Amino acid sequence: MIAGIPKETREGENRVAISTEVVRMMVKAGFSIKITAGAGKMAGKSDQAFQEAGAEIVKDNQTTLSSADVVLMVNPPSIQEAEMIKEGAALLSYLYAYTQPELVEVLKNRKISAFAMDAVPRISRAQTMDALSSQANLAGYKAVILGADALGKIFPLLMTAAGSIKPSKVLIFGAGVAGLQAIATAKRLGAVVECTDVRPETKEQVESLGGKFLMVKDDAGVKTEGGYAKEVSVEYLQKQKELVAKHVAEADLVITTALVMGKKAPVLISSEMVQSMKPGSVIVDMAVESGGNCALSERGKTIIKEGVTIIGQENLPSLLAVNASELYARNIWALLSHLATSQSFKWEMEEDVTKGCLITHNGDLVHEFTRNILHAQS
């Protein structure tokens, strides 16, 4: 099979879906690799390096997409790109298909078998395929770095002849992969770190990294699926806001990571809470692409409201494109090698990983979760 890797066209995207290491693995396994010229430039990967690893460099995305039996991408293809993909080919990329009914229709009409990297099930044997986690890990690190850069004070306790400097206080909403990495990074930099999460089972993980866990005692209404929050009652969210309001007011840096699968991100920091914060403090809203956890954050912008800097930076992994591309390439190769040989796909339709992340196949929308959400919206 020919695997095609186009140049990402999303604005501000620096990642590429493959690395020279994975090119070598795929060539050894019997795949032919075609990569659009310049696809890896922003991720530190030259066309020459890809060629030396065994890939063929082609002139444009049209050529790459139309000739590939399986297309490997980071972001969902645009409608135009999806129409370029050879009919009956396979696609592996982030899709978030439940938010893109028009793209789903194109994929169905072209009989493209689309596997969503964002839908890989959270089971132990699929950990090497879990791109959401690998990218969130880097995003959690970068969020702390961005926050520290915008903050007008240092993180650690510092004792000098001129007097002592108190350590900064960092509050993190959400103890998923991104939140835990943010805790670890902030602690390494010397901050006092607190964390709150709707899942009480994360308390031990937070404390193992040196953070203080802020917990709502009544956990009624909290539902989780695969370790991720699925649904939280309005009452619970209100209790959580009341609990953390005082801690938000005292924090120098607040990082929010809370997402709910298939829904808009919950608003955890109200405009009143922003007003209560100290002038010069900082909020990094990592959920800004899904609607934002802060009521005042603006997607893709850094703004100052009530003397508080609110960072709504999109696509944090792209800011670490070298590492992000390397990890993503390993994830996508782990998934592809599970699903297929160099000759053909296995099409084990009831196997957990296949069933969990195959969105469209043979002209049909086969993914139950996506189908239910799109049906509810129509």
Q: Are residues 193 and 169 in the same domain?
A: yes
Q: Which of 24, 122, 188, 371 is catalytic?
A: 122
Q: Are residues 258 and 277 in the same domain?
A: yes
So what's the pLDDT on residue 238? Answer: 77
Q: Which of 32, 62, 133, 276 is catalytic?
A: 133
Q: Are residues 21 and 83 in the same domain?
A: yes
Band of residue 225 on the pLDDT scale cut at 50, 70, 90: low
Q: Are residues 169 and 309 in the same domain?
A: yes
Q: What is the mean pLDDT of residues 135-140?
A: 98
Active site residue 122: yes
Per residue in 288-334, pLDDT (tens digit) is 999 999 999 999 999 999 999 999 999 999 999 999 999 999 999 99
For residue 229, being part of any structural domain is answered with: yes
Q: What is the percent of the chain where pLDDT is above 90?
A: 88
Give the separation between CA 331 and CA 337, rounded to whole angstroms.
10
So what's the pLDDT on residue 290? Answer: 93
Q: Are residues 299 and 152 in the same domain?
A: yes
Give the separation between CA 74 and CA 57, rounded to whole angstroms.
18
Active site residue 96: no
Active site residue 281: no
Q: What is the mean pLDDT of residues 221-239?
A: 63
Residue at a domain's end among 289, 314, 339: 314
Q: Are residues 160 and 307 in the same domain?
A: yes
So what's the pLDDT on residue 328? Answer: 98
Active site residue 228: yes
Q: Which of 228, 233, 270, 342 is catalytic?
A: 228
Domain count, the chain: 2
Residue at a domain's end among 314, 336, 362: 314
Q: What is the mean pLDDT of residues 68-73?
A: 98
Active site residue 313: no
Residue scoring higher pLDDT (230 or 107): 107
Residue at a domain's end among 293, 314, 335: 314
Q: Are residues 268 and 142 in the same domain?
A: yes
Band of residue 220 on the pLDDT scale cut at 50, 70, 90: low
Rounded to 5°, the CA angle 104-134-147 comes to: 105
Contacts of 26 by beta carbon, 8 Å cutoff, 6+ apart: 3, 18, 33, 333, 342
For residue 264, being part of any structural domain is answered with: yes
Band of residue 229 on the pLDDT scale cut at 50, 70, 90: low
Q: Are residues 309 and 339 in the same domain?
A: no
Q: By C-alpha distance, which of 36, 113, 131 is closest to 69? A: 113
For residue 246, being part of any structural domain is answered with: yes
For residue 273, being part of any structural domain is answered with: yes
Q: Which two tokens stand for residue 344?
A: 């053909």
Q: Are residues 104 and 205 in the same domain?
A: no
For residue 95, being part of any structural domain is answered with: yes
Determine the 3-state secondary structure of 104 from DSSP.
helix
For residue 218, being part of any structural domain is answered with: yes
Per residue in 245-286, pLDDT (tens digit) is 999 999 999 999 998 877 899 999 999 999 999 999 999 999
Domain of residue 351 covers 2-119+321-377
Q: Are residues 292 and 333 in the same domain?
A: no
So what's the pLDDT on residue 351? Answer: 96
Q: Which of 127, 208, 238, 271 is catalytic?
A: 127
So what's the pLDDT on residue 231? Answer: 60
Band of residue 244 on the pLDDT scale cut at 50, 70, 90: confident
Band of residue 228 on the pLDDT scale cut at 50, 70, 90: low
Q: Are residues 225 and 277 in the same domain?
A: yes
When the pLDDT of each residue in the chain is averaged and rounded to a whole number, the result is 94
For residue 356, being part of any structural domain is answered with: yes
Q: Helix 368-377 and helix 101-109: axis angle, to 10°?
A: 120
For residue 127, being part of any structural domain is answered with: no
Per residue in 139-171, pLDDT (tens digit) is 999 999 999 999 999 999 999 999 999 999 999
The total number of residues shown for the chain amounts to 378
- Type of residue numbered 251: A
Residue scoring higher pLDDT (50 or 216): 50
Q: Are residues 310 and 325 in the same domain?
A: no
CATH number for position 280: 3.40.50.720
DSSP one-letter code for 124: G
Q: What is the percent of the chain where pLDDT is above 70?
A: 96
pTM: 0.93
Band of residue 218 on the pLDDT scale cut at 50, 70, 90: low
Q: Which of 69, 130, 252, 285 is catalytic?
A: 130
